[in-house]
Amino acid sequence: SVTIGVLALQGAFREHLRALSEFEGVSALPVRTKEQLATVDALVIPGGESTTMGLVAERSGLLEELRAMTRARQKPVFATCAGLIMLAQRAQHEKTGGQPLLGGLDVVVDRNFFGTQLQSFEATMDVRLPGDEAASTCHAVFIRAPAILEVGIRVEVLATLPVDKSPRPLEKPCIVAARQGPFLVTAFHPELTADRRWHAYFVDQVRATKG
Ligand code: GLN
């Protein structure tokens, strides 16, 4: 069995804990301290508000431990929405002085890519889940969502939002799900829909990493 932590400082951590508890052989634990972080095989970083999450992590002395973990790129991390922003190497639209990011994932994100005028939307799009032979569709919930603007060569794109599904005009489809080594990221919220394929893939990856 495997132990998967969910960073529980702020945001949609309960929904991830509930989703993970549906899997046999998985114990899902909220992580708020470095002691708890040290006990988990993998980590989920939920959606919420990345600036707040970063500040709370800094104040609770967890930021450096999280950074060490993500920069080592060894333990699997599933990061959604604000979590994706946290895991990114660089974020645009940072507030003055910047916000504390963890880094490790070779991407540049735009924190509020879809703007504040349209807070949230849903879209059905084509995705390529890792391990799947063919593309399939996925219904995704976006809440003040970021988007990935640039990816490094080691990053595999798993889903792009087509221009006709975007609430703001786009010149080209934008990247909304990706993976790199032990990292899986989505700009949308898979924990808010019943589709458990993203969590299932992550759980498989955690099992494979633990051996
Ligand atoms: N745009 C938000 C941020 O900056 C993320 C929104 C979300 O996680 N639903 O953190």
- Confirm whether 133 is a catalytic residue: no
- 144 annotated as ligand-binding: yes
CA distance 58 to 49: 14
The predicted-structure confidence for 176-199, as pLDDT tens digits, reads as follows 999 999 999 999 999 999 999 999
CATH number at residue 88: 3.40.50.880
Tell me how far the alpha carbon of residue 185 lies from the centroid of ligand 1, in angstroms.
Answer: 13
- If one counts the domains in the chain, the total is 1
Determine if the pTM surpasses 0.80: yes
Assess whether pLDDT exceeds 60 at residue 94.
no
Q: Is the pLDDT of residue 96 over 60?
A: no
Tell me the percentage of the chain whose pLDDT exceeds 90. Answer: 85
pLDDT confidence tier of residue 131, bands split at 50, 70 and 90? confident
Whether the per-residue pLDDT at 19 is higher than 90: the answer is yes
Residues with CB under 6 A from ligand 1: 47-50, 81-82, 85, 111-112, 143-144, 146
What is the position in ligand 1's atom list of the atom closest to the CA of 48? Answer: 8
The ipTM estimated for the assembled molecules is: 0.94
138-177 burial code (b ≥16 CB/10 A, e <16): bebbbbbbbbbbebeeebeebbbbeeebbbeebeebbbbb
Residue 30, domain extent: 2-210
